[in-house]
Structures are given as structure tokens and as C-alpha cells.
Amino acid sequence: MKRLSIALLATALATPALAQHQGHHMPGHSMPMPKAKPKPKSPAATPKPAAKKPVSRTKAAARPAARARPKAPPKKASAKPVGKPTAKAAPKPAASAKDPHAGHDMEPATLSRPAADPHAGHSMPQGTASSGQDVQQADPHAGHDMGTAPAPQADPHAGHQMPMADAPPVAPPPAGAFSGPEHAADTVFGPGQMASAREKLRKEHGGMTTYKLLVDQLEGRIRSGRDGYRWDAQGWIGGDIDKLWLKTEGEGAFGEAVEQAEVQALWSHAIDPWFDLQAGIRHDFRPDPERTHFVLGVQGLAPYWFEVDGAAFLSNKGDVTARIEVEYDLRLTQKLILQPRIEFDLAAQDVPELGIGSGLSSGELGARLRYEIRPEFAPYVGLEYERAFGSTADFRRAGGEKAGGWNLLLGVRTWF
């Protein structure tokens, strides 16, 4: 065997004829075909009704019970009436060298064919021509209405008709498919090397750990009385299904001690395409006295794009409370987004030392208008009405506060 070893060499020239590799089958490259067999035409083939659903839907993974499979390939080669010439044969001259679209060589033999296609021009060795009219494609644009579809098609745009009329049954693989070594490459490179490569392959295709840190609210709150501030942030790290999820929020007034501050550490488990079940611990550093809660919640995206976060809390003092937040991103432009938001706090009992009354204890209704300088960084302005209800309101009034009021919000939303 002669070998050309210089890389930067003429390519189209002089490639030595080498022994033909025989292991592979080359579809579509049987040209030129000296004696193409005429295509089996069986006009008698019964036109099948519209694509039937396969009978059995056995999972491919199931091992077959010794399934007898005919060794010889079926004689009938997808026999269907093929290609009756289309009605709209273009009234143009047969392909000639002057045809601007002819990209293909016309050998003399081809010219004898009734080449109605103005763009036809592949050199067709004689053999093919003898296979009859069924290779004709009268119009390159007529690809849609091929004669193979037996049913008359009133509507060329209808997507219903399947060109695959006679589908074979869905079936598990034959027994031979399970023979031999499980991993082919082990036979060449050894199982040791391949095992670690396989492990890496698996991890690289779906097994990655990702993360996100979102500071949803970092804002000053301008209101009657002393102005305040609030933060609300969360972050997660993990895979698609299970994540470690951390949340923190808190607020206070400038110049005073922090009024409220909490941190949650949750295990988050995806329970459907849009929702996660979350369970873990919440600790309130403020107010005094501190509390620790067990948390059970659901967070996700509800139909119509509502972002929902609801959780129930059981404190170390046995108090049960709950919180529900719903927000929605109303996209005004690609960068300007109005986010209405509502939050309710509920309690199952009075917790006088924390100023919480049973029932609906407090609520917030507001909207933040943010401008995404980058999607990850958006300053915002907002307006929010916050108030306490029921005995919670009474607790507040008793402490010399108002039950509720308006807040003008100025803040930043960021994530990475």
C-alpha cells in the first residue's frame, strides 16, 4: 500500500486505489448501477387505511421471551404503488446545459429519459433508466403529492396524513441484540479505562450541579414615621431534582435595631415540572424572643406564570403559622417589568409575645417596577400597602403603632 504522507498536498489528485473496505454498507452510493433491478411494483398492494397505531406498546427495555425471527429478510420490499408522474409536469424544455439551475451532468443516456424536470440533471447511468418511470419526479416542487399517499389529499397543508402507512409493530429487540459483551469498547480498550470514562460521560450528560443566588428585594422603604429597609434573598445549589435551598428575609427602620430577621435552610425536592416541595429549618434572630421553626412548603410556578411560595411553620414553642407569597412578572418592554406581589401571613393561635394574633395576621399588596439594565441587575421603584388584621392589628395599636400604611420602595434586584 502506497501512502501519501504529506498533509499539505493536492487532494483531488492521485489517491491510490486501495482495498475496498467491506464491513460497511453505504446507503445512497450504489452509483453507478450497472443493472439496477426494476423496482418491485405491486399495484395490487392494498392501500392501507390511515396510519394505524402499533398494537403493542411494550417497553423496548423489556427482554424478549425467545422471539422467533425469520432469518431471511422479507421478500416484499415495502411494496407500494410508487410515483405516478405528477400532473403538473413543467412545460419547460428538458434539461440542457443552458439551464441556469442545472447543477448536474447530463450524460447522453439521460437525455433519452422523459426528463420533464427542468432542474433535473443528475447523471443517470443507463441502468437506472430501465427501472422505469417510477424514478421520475416531474416537478421538484411537487414533493408533497407523491403517489405513495393513497388517500386523496384535499389540503396540502394538512399535517394529518402520515407518509408511513404500513408501520411494523412496536416490539422489543430480538434476542441477538442482547448477545456479546455489554460494552463494546471494553473489548478494545479494557474495562478499567472504559469504566471511568463511562462514569464521566454519564455525569457530563445530565448530572451537573448548578446554583443560583437571587436577591429579590434589597430596598429602602419610605413611609410615614421612620423610614425603613427590607431584604429578601434566596439561593440554591444542587441538581434538577434535589437542591439545598437557603432563604433569608428581614426588615427594620433606619437607626433602630433590626425588627425582624430570619434564615431558612431547606431541602428542596422537585415534585412536578414546576413545583418544589421544601422542608427544613427556619430560625428567627429577631424579634426577641428568638424562635426556631420546622418548615414545610411548596414553591414554584403556577399556571399563567404566577410565582408562588407557600410554607407552614411549626415553632419550637408549638406555634403554627403560615405564609403565602404570589408574584407575577408583567413585561412592559424587554427591560421594564412590573411585578405585582401579594403576601399573607396566617397564624393558628395568638402569640402575644411576638405580637401575632390568630387568623389572618398581616398582609401586603404592592408592585415593583424594575428596569433590567442587565437581566441580572435591575433597580426598581415600588409602592406597597402593608397592614395587620384582627388581633395582630390590636397588638400593634396597643404598642402605639398604626395597623398599616403605605411604603414607597426604592431598591435593587439582582441574581447570579
Distance CA 263, CA 233 (A): 10
Nearest approach in angstroms of CB 339 to other proteins is 13
Secondary structure E strands in 287-358: 291-302, 306-315, 320-328, 330-331, 336-347
Query: Given the complex with other proteins, which of 148 and 358 has the nearer CB atom?
Result: 148
Query: Given the complex with other proteins, which of 206 and 225 has the nearer CB atom?
Result: 206
Query: Given the complex with other proteins, which of 191 and 405 has the nearer CB atom?
Result: 191
Which position has the grid cell 387568623?
Answer: 359
Distance CA 361, CA 345 (A): 6
Nearest approach in angstroms of CB 241 to other proteins is 6
Is the bond preceding residue 140 a cis peptide, omega within 30 degrees?
no
Query: Given the complex with other proteins, which of 240 and 288 has the nearer CB atom?
Result: 240
Query: Given the complex with other proteins, which of 158 and 225 has the nearer CB atom?
Result: 158
Nearest approach in angstroms of CB 271 to other proteins is 7
Instruction: Report the DSSP beta bridge partners of residue 409.
Output: 221, 382
Grid cell for residue 215: 436577591
Exposure of 266 by Cβ count < 10 A (0-12 exposed, 13-18 middle, 19+ buried)? buried
Which position has the grid cell 427544613?
Answer: 280
Residues ≥6 apart with Cβ < 8 Å to 178: 63
Nearest approach in angstroms of CB 187 to other proteins is 7
Grid cell for residue 325: 407569597
Query: Given the complex with other proteins, which of 159 and 225 has the nearer CB atom?
Result: 159
Nearest approach in angstroms of CB 312 to other proteins is 23
Distance CA 99, CA 93 (A): 9
Which long-range contacts does 298-306 make (Cβ < 8 Å, 24+ apart)?
Answer: 298/271, 299/268, 299/275, 300/272, 300/274, 300/275, 300/276, 301/274, 301/275, 302/274, 302/326, 305/329
Q: From the CB of residue 56, how many other CB atoms can be counted at a distance below 10 Å?
A: 8
Distance CA 359, CA 382 (A): 28
Nearest approach in angstroms of CB 51 to other proteins is 8
Query: Given the complex with other proteins, which of 338 and 381 has the nearer CB atom?
Result: 338
Nearest approach in angstroms of CB 112 to other proteins is 17
Query: Given the complex with other proteins, which of 83 and 250 has the nearer CB atom?
Result: 83
Distance CA 234, CA 216 (A): 8
Report angle CA 148, 150, 154 to the nearest 5 degrees. Answer: 110
Distance CA 116, CA 397 (A): 93
Query: Given the complex with other proteins, which of 167 and 398 has the nearer CB atom?
Result: 167
Nearest approach in angstroms of CB 18 to other proteins is 6
Nearest approach in angstroms of CB 126 to other proteins is 13
